[in-house]
Structure formats: C-alpha cells, structure tokens
Chains A and B, each alone.
Chain A
Amino acid sequence: MDGFNIIMVIAIILFARLGVRLVTGYIKMKKETKEENKEPDA
C-alpha cells in the first residue's frame, strides 16, 4: 500500500466519522428543541 492510499483511508475514516457526528448532533438538537417545545404545554 503506498502513501496515497494510506492518506485516502485516513481521509475516508475521518470524513465518515464527521458525517456520523454531524448527523447525531443534528438529531440531538432536534430532539432537545422538540422536548423544550413540549415543556410549556405540560
């Protein structure tokens, strides 16, 4: 495996991790907003 491939593998891993973290962060944010919206009604 040459240098280029190693860099590609690392980049793919990092970007995949970034994607997962951004999506989970977004879902969490939405969930929290939803819960806060519900609170005053309760």
Chain B
Amino acid sequence: MLKIFRKVRHNMIKNRKVTSYLLYAIGEIVLVMIGILLALQVNNWNENRKQKSELNNILNSVKYDLETDTLVASQVARIYDTLQVKSNLIINKQLKKENYKDCLACVSLTTFYSPFNIQTKGYELLKTVTSQTVSNQRDSLITDIIQVYDLYKPIIVKNNERLENEVMKNLNELKEYPWFVDLSLGRFNDEMVEYFTESEDYRKRVALHNMLASNNHLAMIKNYKAQATEILKRIGERLNKE
C-alpha cells in the first residue's frame, strides 16, 4: 500500500516538473520571438531612416538642378523676349531700308537660337529611388517632381532640336546668297539690306522662327520655370521641416 502511495507521489512530482519545464520552454521561445520581432522593428526603423536621408540628399540635388534651370530659363527667356520684339519689327514691316541701322541684330533673327537644357541629375536619381521603393510613390512632392520632368523634358528637348534644325536650314540657305561672306563679316550692302528689310522670304522665315522660338520654346520655358519655382518652394519647405 505504502509502495503505491510512494509511486503516485513520485509520478505527481515528475508531472509537476515536466509541466514547469514546458512552461519554462514556452517562455524561452516567446522571449526569442520577441527578440526577433524587436530586431526586425529596429532594422525597419533604421532602413526608413536611411531611406529618408537618401531621399533628402536627392531632393537637395533636385533643388540644385531646379535652381540652375530657373536661372538659365530667366536668361533664355530674356533673350527670346528681345528676339520677339525685333521679330515683330520685321513681321509688321516696320523696318525699312532707310532705318535698317535701328536694328542691326535683325539680320540674324533667323540664324540665332539659345538652347535650353534641363539639368536631370537629381531627376534620374529620384527615378532610381522611386523604382526601388513603393512607399515614395505615395509622396505627392516626388510624384509632382517626376511629372513635371516627364512632361517638360521631352518637349524642351524637341523644341531645341526644331530650332537648331531651323537655324541650320536658314544658315545653309543664306549661304547661297552672294553677300553671305559680307554678312558673316558684319559688312552691309544694298542687296543684303533689301533682302532683310523688304523681302517676303525673310519675313516668312522670321515669322516661322518667331513661332518656334517665342510662341513654342519661350512659352514652354516660362511654364517650366513657373513649375520649377513652385517645386523649389515645396522642396524648401520639406527640407526645413526635417
């Protein structure tokens, strides 16, 4: 009888020990899981911090590009504004043989262009980052920057090409005139002055050049400048906030 009681007591002690060991094991496993979750959390936080810092560097780069672009755009716009005023003199037949000296630059209206090239270093970096991370695509500032570049870059490049082709075509055609060498040396003669002030051909060329340069190119440059200024303001606000 005593032997049975002893056996029961031993079994009870043994069961209690196994239960407490299992509880201890579960506790240890839970601790490990908590440890891994914490490590993941810290890692995520660190990754986000690194991503944010990288994004800020890129935004600084975009800011620098846009600042350069707005400066250059202002200069180019000023040049084309002047060109437009002079082109209007020819188009409206206000320049005559007698007063051609009032606008000596009017002879080079169709052979002049000022290319405007957008700086895209920051934009390229931004595109790489947004293609790697999905979260940035929800950022309205970044989406707007990419949209502005995507919209204006090809148009401005195309306008530059058009103007360049037009200017080269004009130069090649002017080359055929006997007074071309005099023109290149800045010497004026009657035939040349007559062509630039009274010929319908030159008037049409000026009108076309004006259309491409002032109506298209200049308008796009001004629009781009306005958008760039707006984005610069937003980037400034974002960088100051962080």
Q: How many residues of chain A have a CB within 8 Å of chain B? A: 19
Decide: A3 near B10, CB < 8 A? Known: A22-B25, A29-B17.
no
Interchain CB contact under 8 A, B13 and A25 = no
Q: How many residues of chain B have a CB within 8 Å of chain A? A: 20
Interchain CB contact under 8 A, B17 and A3 = no
Which residues of chain B are within 8 angstroms of A6 by Cβ–Cβ distance? 39, 43
Interchain CB contact under 8 A, B14 and A33 = yes
- In the complex formed, the residue of A with least CB distance to B44 is A3
Find B35's partner among A10, A29, A32 (CB 8 Å cutoff).
Answer: A10
A37 to B13, CA, bound (A): 10
Interchain CB contact under 8 A, A21 and B40 = no
Find B25's partner among A14, A25, A40 (CB 8 Å cutoff).
Answer: A25
Chain A interface helix/strand/loop/mixed: helix
Which residues of chain A are within 8 angstroms of B25 by Cβ–Cβ distance? 22, 25
Q: How far is the CB of A1 from chain B (nearest CB, A)?
A: 11
Q: Confirm or deny: B6 has a beta carbon within 8 angstroms of a beta carbon on chain A.
A: yes
Interchain CB contact under 8 A, B47 and A3 = yes
Q: Confirm or deny: B46 has a beta carbon within 8 angstroms of a beta carbon on chain A.
A: yes
Interchain CB contact under 8 A, A40 and B28 = no
Which residues of chain A are within 8 angstroms of B29 by Cβ–Cβ distance? 18
- In the complex formed, the residue of B with least CB distance to A3 is B43
Q: Confirm or deny: B177 has a beta carbon within 8 angstroms of a beta carbon on chain A.
A: no
Find B39's partner among A10, A26, A32 (CB 8 Å cutoff).
Answer: A10
- In the complex formed, the residue of B with least CB distance to A10 is B39
A22 to B47, CA, bound (A): 34
Q: Confirm or deny: B32 has a beta carbon within 8 angstroms of a beta carbon on chain A.
A: yes
- 1/0 per position for A1-40, CB-CB distance to B under 8 A? 0010011001100110110011001100100110011001
Which residues of chain A are within 8 angstroms of B17 by Cβ–Cβ distance? 29, 32-33
Interchain CB contact under 8 A, B36 and A25 = no
Decide: A18 near B32, CB < 8 A? Known: A25-B21, A25-B25, A36-B10.
yes
Across the A-B interface, the 5 shortest Cβ-Cβ residue pairs: A10-B39, A14-B32, A3-B43, A14-B35, A18-B32
A sample of 6 cross-chain residue pairs with beta-carbon separation below 8 angstroms, ordered by A number, consists of A7-B36, A14-B36, A18-B31, A22-B25, A29-B18, A29-B21
A interface with B by C-beta (< 8 Å): 3, 6-7, 10-11, 14-15, 17-18, 21-22, 25-26, 29, 32-33, 36-37, 40
